[in-house]
Amino acid sequence: MGELVFIGLGLHDEKGLSLRGLEQAKTSDQLFVEFYTNVLPNFSLEEFEKMVEKRVYVVSRNDLEESDGEKILEAAEIGKVAFLVPGDPFVATTHIALRVEAEKRGISTRVIHGPSIISAIISLSGLHNYKFGKTVTIPFPDNRSETPYEVITQNKNLGLHTLCLLDIRTEEGHYLTIRKSLELLLEIEKKRKGSIVTPNTIAVGASRVGSQNPVLKAGSVKQLLNYDFGMPPHSLLFPGTLHFMEAEALIVFGGAPEELRGMIK
């Protein structure tokens, strides 16, 4: 039997690959990559193939979900295969099923981790990682759900921060923006009337986290609605109870209003 190595690509371009990941990619017999679980704004497949000195085969959502990754598994049964994934291979992705199936077939598996939006946006914002509650994804309007509002409510009631990942459909070129996400939450607020996401609620928006020039903006929802976050990917944070250093970080790093210090408890 061969081996299947899951390698994280990081968040922005081909330079997000770790040295260990590069080493494993170069020593693999075949390389596969997917780009549907997240967008890497400046990733060049051509430059990446030069780095690893091999051809890299792009697989689609259908290859992984409808065909159960059979193409990758068959290759891994007879040689060493690297499967390259945006971010960290098993954070906010559905690839765990592929690893489970590989192990069931007797294919050994390993994971080479990469930077994830989960940790990177926390680091960028200055909020304390141990004060985050459940993470939630805000879906597109055609898949409307009130779950994000409910998760933000649950976390706020516990004094915890909420990370909202915004839905993407990379194969269609569609990316949910911070503005649209806030509009969707405000619509739910009108219905639920829980005073959870109002125009005056403090939120934090971020775009292109992991790049050389990420954007971070903290302020009221009405301020963020009119703020230009530029190109995707976008993410959204809703702070819970703030430590004084967290408030200071949002003011210094994200341009939050000075009155944020009044939210400290």
The pLDDT tens digits for 20-51 are: 999 999 999 999 999 888 888 889 999 999 99
Question: Per residue in 88-123, pLDDT tens?
Answer: 998 866 789 899 999 999 999 999 999 999 899 999
- Cα–Cα dist 227/210, whole Å: 20
Domains along the chain? 3-112 (3.40.1010.10), 117-263 (3.30.950.10)
Question: Per residue in 158-207, pLDDT tens?
Answer: 999 999 999 988 777 889 999 999 999 999 999 999 999 999 999 999 99
Question: Which pLDDT value is given to residue 93?
Answer: 64
Q: What is the 3-state secondary structure (H, E, C) of the chain?
A: CCEEEEEECECCCHHHCCHHHHHHHHCCCEEEEECCCCCCCCCCHHHHHHHHCCCEEEECHHHHHHCCCHHHHHHHCCCEEEEEECECCCCCCCCHHHHHHHHHCCCEEEEECCCCHHHHHHHHHCCCHHHECCCEEECCHHHCCCHHHHHHHHHHHCCCEEEEEECEECCCCEECCHHHHHHHHHHHHHHHCCCCCCCCCEEEEEECCCCCCCEEEEEEHHHHHCCCCCCCCEEEEECCCECHHHHHHHHHHHCCCHHHHHHEC
Question: Which pLDDT value is given to residue 60?
Answer: 85
- Half-sphere exposure at residue 197, Cβ-oriented, CA atoms within 13 angstroms: 31
| Distance between first and last Cα of the chain | 57
Query: Tokens 């945006």 map to which residue?
Result: 86
Q: Letter for the amino acid at 74?
A: E
Question: Per residue in 226-250, pLDDT tens?
Answer: 999 999 999 999 999 999 999 999 9
Question: Which pLDDT value is given to residue 92?
Answer: 64
* Bond before 41 cis per omega within 30 degrees: no
Give the distance from CA 90 to its chain's centroid: 11
Task: Quote the percentage of the chain above a pLDDT of 70.
Answer: 99
CB 128 within 8 A of CB 94: no
Question: Per residue in 135-162, pLDDT tens?
Answer: 999 999 988 899 999 999 999 999 999 9
- Cα–Cα dist 110/87, whole Å: 16
pTM for this predicted structure:
0.89
